[in-house]
Amino acid sequence: MRYGIIGKNIAYSLSPKIHNYHFLALNINAVYEIIDLTLLKDYSGFNVTIPYKEKIIDYCDELSTEAKEVGAVNCVKVIEGKYFGYNTDTYGFYMLLKKNNLLIDKKKVLIIGAGGAAKAVYYVFNKYTNMQIFVTNRRSEKAYQITKYVILFSDITNILSTFDIVVNCTNVGVQKYESPITIQTIKESSCFIDLNYQKQNAFLDKARTLGAKTINGLEMLIYQAVKSFEIWFNREANIAAIKEILDKEGINDVNS
């Protein structure tokens, strides 16, 4: 059986290491790899990342209720040549919030970005909390597709200190050390989350120097992988095995 991930410029992805080690730990005869877009029909299932989480919807024969509501797909199960689309980013982000005691109310949230990942993050905050949720994006018209509560990108630096939680849902910072926004003043006891999981992270580093609690996207990566596996195989994942391979790779720093 063959599984994998589609995306653009994703050689850095940890997903192949995670899933292949997990398959081995569970004695599953399968392989997970970065996929050539022209060979999708050869796979039993695959994950989807930037920039295809929204585009892949047009190729799916059926969507889960959650994928429809989010408007993005990051997990596809292939059955007899048909694509069934799911969103496991929502579960991954929900578990990140839960494990960090952030499923709380009456807080003000800023989501940076308006792509598939941002849609999943907005969905989780909106469904499981009573927070005030705002979105900012370089192209405001795309942010308005998520919510009417949009903040102009040019205004962010001046009002950043009014937010309790700030979440980077863009891929800025993956290829080089840079932040999606300029961070100067932040709210005391605020929390900054970056869905990216690279150790060198300008966005989180700057927020940390100003006293913020910081969380990277490692837990979200783990739990979206868990949910993807369970969709593909209809069996429970071995979370301990997934965490073990990350420890072996020296990737276990989730927050600070």
CATH value at residue 32: 3.40.50.10860
Residue 255 lies in a domain: no
Residues 187 and 214 occupy one common structural domain: yes
Instruction: Say whether both 213 and 155 belong to one domain.
Output: yes
Tokens encoding 209: 């120097």
Query: Could you tell me if 6 and 81 lie in one domain?
Result: yes
Q: Residue 55 corresponds to which tokens in the numbers above?
A: 């585009």
Say yes or no: 44 and 100 in one domain. no
In a 13 Å sphere around the CA of 78, the CA atoms on its Cβ side amount to 15
Together in a domain, 176 and 100: yes
pLDDT number for residue 10? 84
Q: Say if residue 128 is in the same domain as residue 239.
A: no
Q: How confident is the model at residue 255 (pLDDT cuts 50, 70, 90)?
A: low
pLDDT of 190 higher than 90: yes
Q: Indicate whether 160 and 183 sit together in one domain.
A: yes
Query: Catalytic: which of 53, 77, 119, 227?
Result: 53
Q: What is the CATH number of the domain that holds 205?
A: 3.40.50.720
Average pLDDT along the chain = 92
Tell whether 102 and 178 lie within a shared domain. yes
Whether 186 has a pLDDT exceeding 70, the answer reads yes
Which tokens is 141 given? 């018209």
Q: Are 192 and 104 within one domain?
A: yes
Q: What is the pTM of this model?
A: 0.93
Residues 100 and 56 in one domain: no
Residue 14 lies in a domain: yes
Cis peptide before 16 (omega within 30 of 0): no
- Separation CA 14–CA 54 (nearest Å): 21
Assign 8 a pLDDT band (cuts: 50, 70, 90).
confident
pLDDT bucket at 254, cuts 50 / 70 / 90: low
Overall number of domains in the chain: 2
Based on the fold, state whether residues 96 and 212 are members of the same structural domain: yes
Residue 256 lies in a domain: no
Torsion over CA: 56, 226, 142, 68 (sign): positive
Q: Are residues 183 and 225 in the same domain?
A: no
Domain limits at 30? Answer: 2-87+221-248
Confidence of residue 256 (pLDDT cuts 50, 70, 90): low
How far apart CA 82 and CA 166 sit, in angstroms, is 38
Known catalytic membership, residue 53? yes
